């Protein structure tokens, strides 16, 4: 449990129950190799953290944007709490260094690790809520997650870029865009993709992701910028 004192110091948060903090980082696979570890896995904490996260983010958006409708607030919340956003935040906080995984899971990268990190972030929120209460949990989420909203809005990360690009392309250029995978690399369980978005034969933009869908969305987002269709 001592390894987590470094994380507590980094986050300036001290857990009363150190076992609860360790459990937040304990993947089910770790217990298969370490049955006497002393805590359960983090899936129940993930369940709780998901609900706490949604409430705190929803409350912040509701209070900060009184003139916005339900549709916009829902899109913004989804952009903040989706797997990609949570895993990115978890990496920024060095959660990757504290994951308790089996030897096999430690080798997994790409999409699989992204999901594990996102789930661990939710589990950490659940553990923090149980251990320190709503106020400190809210302070943590607002500092590390909802503070990213201005950047998300500026980069239109809340928009379904593929749908948006297609809608405008059909309206302005009377053509439906299509996508092609231009490059892929890595093992089957951790592939990376570069996708291109085309109007007719013309390559408009490229995007990279951990799945074809993610790469296509990134290409569409870049295409909107290049065509100045934002």
pLDDT, one tens digit per residue, over 128-166 is: 999 999 999 999 999 999 999 998 888 777 777 888 899
Confidence of residue 1 (pLDDT cuts 50, 70, 90): low
In this predicted structure, what is the pLDDT of residue 158?
A: 77
CATH 1.10.1520.10 fits 4-154, yes or no: yes
Task: Calculate the average pLDDT of the chain.
Answer: 91
Report pTM.
Answer: 0.76
Structural domain boundaries in the chain:
4-154, 161-226
CATH 3.30.720.200 fits 161-226, yes or no: no
In this predicted structure, what is the pLDDT of residue 61?
A: 94
Confidence of residue 37 (pLDDT cuts 50, 70, 90): confident
Distances (CA, A) of 118 to 24, 46, 72: 12, 9, 23
In this predicted structure, what is the pLDDT of residue 36?
A: 85
Nearest alpha-carbon partner for 52 in 119, 118, 120, 125:
125
In this predicted structure, what is the pLDDT of residue 167?
A: 86
Nearest alpha-carbon partner for 43 in 24, 16, 29:
24
Q: For the segment 71-121, what is each residue's pLDDT rounded down to a tens digit?
A: 889 889 988 998 889 999 999 999 999 999 998 888 877 777 888 999 999
* Residues annotated catalytic, as ranges: 50, 122
Q: What is d(CA 91, CA 89) in angstroms, rounded to the nearest whole number?
A: 5
């Amino acid at each position: 449990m001592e390894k987590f004192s470094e994380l507590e110091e980094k986050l300036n948060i001290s857990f009363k129950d150190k076992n609860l903090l360790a459990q937040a980082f304990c993947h089910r696979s770790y217990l298969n190799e370490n049955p006497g570890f002393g805590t359960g896995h983090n899936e129940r904490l993930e369940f709780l953290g998901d609900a706490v996260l949604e409430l705190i983010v929803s409350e912040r958006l509701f209070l900060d944007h009184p003139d916005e409708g339900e549709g916009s607030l829902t899109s913004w919340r989804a952009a903040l709490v989706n797997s990609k956003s949570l895993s990115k935040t978890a990496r920024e906080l060095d959660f990757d260094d504290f994951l308790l995984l089996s030897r096999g899971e430690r080798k997994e990268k790409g999409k699989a690790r992204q999901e594990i990190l996102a789930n661990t972030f939710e589990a950490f929120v659940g553990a923090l809520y149980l251990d320190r209460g709503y106020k400190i949990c809210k302070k943590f989420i607002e500092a590390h997650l909802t503070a990213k909203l201005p950047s998300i809005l500026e980069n239109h990360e809340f928009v379904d870029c593929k749908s948006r690009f297609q809608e405008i392309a059909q309206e302005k250029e009377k053509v439906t865009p299509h996508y092609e995978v231009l490059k892929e690399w890595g093992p089957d369980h951790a592939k990376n993709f570069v996708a291109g978005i085309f109007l007719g034969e013309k390559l408009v933009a490229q995007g990279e992701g951990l799945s074809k869908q993610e790469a296509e969305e990134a290409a569409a987002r870049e295409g909107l910028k290049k065509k100045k269709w934002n």
